[in-house]
Structures are given as structure tokens and as C-alpha cells.
């Protein structure tokens, strides 16, 4: 796998620029990943980003970066967003709107993008549509990863993240070589506060209520590709690439319904 594109502009927002220019693609991929917590979206986003040269735009990573700021640098809006995140709830719509608006140039990235964790509600899906059409950019596909509830809970409870490079491990299926330490940068691994059992329950409920309707929204638009997330990260990645290659090419009409693209 190639190195992942630089995403400084996305993580920092504001006036930040990426230090390394994205590789230009004639037809960049613009993809949204959807799926319940613990399904492995972040891992797949990283693999797809390396393989397609598209930038990994994760809203969760932006909130986690904010979480590392000293308390004196947190605005009241940021503190409120972090409280909601720790409880496993969704961050308020207005906060997400301001976060994405500030980073909207990333949607025009010439390498394309893999959106991970956004949109998460019907209102956010409409927000994304408006932003994309304002920038004359279209989505290629929305990939929905699917996994039974029992496996989701087991994946989340064993997940550990590196405090340095954010690499993700699993206590059983992908343990680090030295217990508790990252293979890449040797820094300690930690359990995300929203991966604790009390937050996980809330996150799964939130997914069913708020995010499942987003899947229907994209199905109606003809953009949805369902991928079973049962397998190793490599197997799921290969299935995703195959599904992307084989996806029916469609065009959306003015009312958002789809028609087959003419040959
Ligand atoms: P993730 O890493 O995508 O699971 O996101 C971690 C947490 O960040 C979520 O449980 C939410 O609290 C918050 N978050 C991330 N993306 C969004 C979003 N699009 N809308 C609302 N909250 C979000």
C-alpha cells in the first residue's frame, strides 16, 4: 500500500494547508463510508486512502484532535462537542456544519476523498449534497458496511488506538507485538473513551435512529453499495475495491432519483 495522502488541512481546519500536495487524478474517487460503530470504517478508509490516493476525511479524527488541545484553547462549542462525544452521542448539527464549512476546500481535493463518519443524519446528508453541488462535485459511491450486532460489540470492546499515530489494534484479532505499545511508534495504546461499554450502547442506538435513514437516502439516489464487513481487514478491503469496480454507473435526475447512465 502507498503512503496515505497528507491531511493537515482537514485535521487542523482554518488556514492550515497540507504540506504535501495531493497526487492529481484524472478521475478522483469521492466516496462516503457508512456503518455502525466498530464495523471497521476507519481501517477501510485508511486502506482505501492509500490505494486510491484519496484523502481520508474523518470527522471523528477531527474531534479526537480537538480532544488533545489544552483546556485553555477549547471554545465553549468545542467543550460541548467533546462532552457529547464522550457520552457516545452525536455532536450538535451546528457544530458539524461549522466544522465541515471551514474545511469545504477538502471536498475539492484533486486526489478525491473518502468521507468517514459524515454524514451521520438525514440533515447532514442534505448538508453534504448542498456543499457538493455548490462546488460542482459529485459523489461516486456510498459504501455501507454491514455486520451483526454481536460481532460489533466484540470488535469495539477489544479495540485499542495508538496515542501517537492513531494506528488501530484489536486485543484478539490484531494485537500489537509488545502488549500495550504501538508496533509503529512504540507509544502507549489506549481505549477510546467512547469505546467503553456505557458509550457503546448509546452509539449503537444513535446509529439505528439517526444514521440508518441515511443508508436509505443514498439507496434511493442509486449510490449505495452494501459490503459485508465480516472478514479480515484485507478481505473486506478487496471486496470493497471489487464492489467499486463493478458498481453500476448511474446519473441522478433533478429530483434526486436515478436513471441508468446511457452507454
Ligand atoms: P467516529 O470516530 O466516526 O466513530 O466518531 C466519534 C464520535 O465523534 C462520534 O461518536 C460522535 O460523537 C462524533 N462525531 C463524529 N462525526 C460526527 C458527525 N458527523 N455528526 C455528529 N457527531 C459526530
Per-residue pLDDT tens for 45-63? 999 999 999 999 999 999 9
Q: What is the pLDDT of residue 237?
A: 96
Give the residue, by CA position, lying nearest to ligand 1 atom 15: 60
**d(Cα 159, Cα 170) in Å, to the nearest integer?**
5
Which residues approach ligand 1 with their CB closer than 6 A? 37, 59-60, 63, 84-85, 88-91, 96, 117-118, 120, 124, 194, 203
Which residues, at least 6 apart from 109, have a Cβ–Cβ distance to it below 8 Å?
Answer: 5, 22, 28, 54, 55
State the chain's mean pLDDT as an integer.
88
**Among residues 52, 160, 181, 73, which one has the least CA distance to residue 115?**
52
- The answer to whether 5 touches 54, Cβ cutoff 8 Å, is yes
**Among residues 143, 144, 138, which one has the least CA distance to residue 256?**
138
- The stretch 146-154 carries a mean pLDDT of 87
Q: What is the pLDDT of residue 47?
A: 93
Query: Residue 259 C-alpha to ligand 1 middle, in angstroms?
Result: 33
Q: What is the pLDDT of residue 109?
A: 87
Give the residue, by CA position, lying nearest to ligand 1 atom 5: 60
- The stretch 164-172 carries a mean pLDDT of 87
- The stretch 184-213 carries a mean pLDDT of 89
pLDDT for residue 84 is more than 90? yes
Q: What is the pLDDT of residue 2?
A: 66
Which domains are delineated in the chain? 8-147+210-244 (3.40.50.300), 148-195 (no CATH)
- Distances in Å between the Cα of 9 and the Cα atoms of 22, 123, 169, 183, 191 are 11, 25, 26, 27, 26
Q: Is 120 a catalytic residue?
A: yes
Find residue 252's DSSP bridge partners: 258
Q: Is 155 a catalytic residue?
A: no
The tens digit of pLDDT for each residue in 227-246 reads 999 988 899 999 999 999 99
pLDDT for residue 261 is more than 70? no
Give the residue, by CA position, lying nearest to ligand 1 atom 8: 60
- The stretch 22-39 carries a mean pLDDT of 87
Supply 39's cell numbers: 464495523
Out of 41, 64, 155, 160, the active site residue is 41
Q: Is 7 a catalytic residue?
A: no
How many CB atoms neighbour CB 216 within 10 A? 11
Which stretches of 12-95 are assigned E, i.e. beta strand? Answer: 29-34, 55-58
**d(Cα 129, Cα 138) in Å, to the nearest integer?**
8
> Model's pTM, two decimal places?
0.84
Q: Which residue has the higher pLDDT, 232 or 262?
A: 232
Find residue 161's DSSP bridge partners: 168, 190
Amino acid at each position: 500500500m502507498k503512503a496515505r495522502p497528507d491531511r493537515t488541512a482537514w485535521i487542523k481546519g482554518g488556514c492550515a494547508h497540507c504540506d504535501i500536495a495531493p497526487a492529481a487524478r484524472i478521475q478522483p474517487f469521492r466516496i462516503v463510508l457508512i456503518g455502525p460503530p466498530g464495523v471497521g470504517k476507519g481501517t477501510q478508509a485508511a486502506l482505501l486512502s492509500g490505494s486510491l490516493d484519496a484523502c481520508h476525511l474523518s470527522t471523528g479524527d477531527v474531534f479526537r484532535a480537538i480532544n488533545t488541545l489544552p483546556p485553555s484553547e477549547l471554545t465553549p462549542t468545542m467543550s460541548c462537542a467533546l462532552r457529547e462525544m464522550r457520552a457516545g452521542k452525536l455532536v450538535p448539527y451546528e457544530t458539524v456544519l461549522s466544522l465541515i464549512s471551514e474545511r469545504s476546500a477538502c471536498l475539492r481535493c484533486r486526489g478525491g476523498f473518502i468521507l468517514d463518519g459524515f454524514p451521520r443524519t438525514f440533515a447532514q446528508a442534505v448538508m453534504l449534497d448542498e456543499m457538493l453541488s455548490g462546488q460542482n462535485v459529485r459523489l461516486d459511491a456510498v459504501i455501507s458496511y454491514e455486520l451483526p450486532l454481536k460481532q460489533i460489540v466484540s470488535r469495539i470492546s477489544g479495540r485499542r488506538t495508538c496515542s501517537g499515530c492513531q494506528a488501530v489494534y484489536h486485543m484478539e484479532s490484531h494485537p500489537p507485538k509488545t502488549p500495550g505499545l504501538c508496533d509503529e511508534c512504540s507509544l502507549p495504546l489506549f481505549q477510546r473513551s467512547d469505546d467503553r461499554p456505557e458509550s457503546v450502547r448509546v452509539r449503537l442506538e444513535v446509529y439505528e435512529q439517526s444514521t440508518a435513514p441515511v443508508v436509505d437516502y443514498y439507496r434511493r439516489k442509486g449510490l449505495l453499495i452494501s459490503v459485508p464487513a465480516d472478514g479480515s481487514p484485507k478481505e473486506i478491503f478487496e471486496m470493497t475495491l471489487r464492489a467499486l469496480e463493478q458498481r453500476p454507473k448511474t446519473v441522478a435526475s433533478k429530483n434526486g432519483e436515478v436513471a441508468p447512465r446511457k452507454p
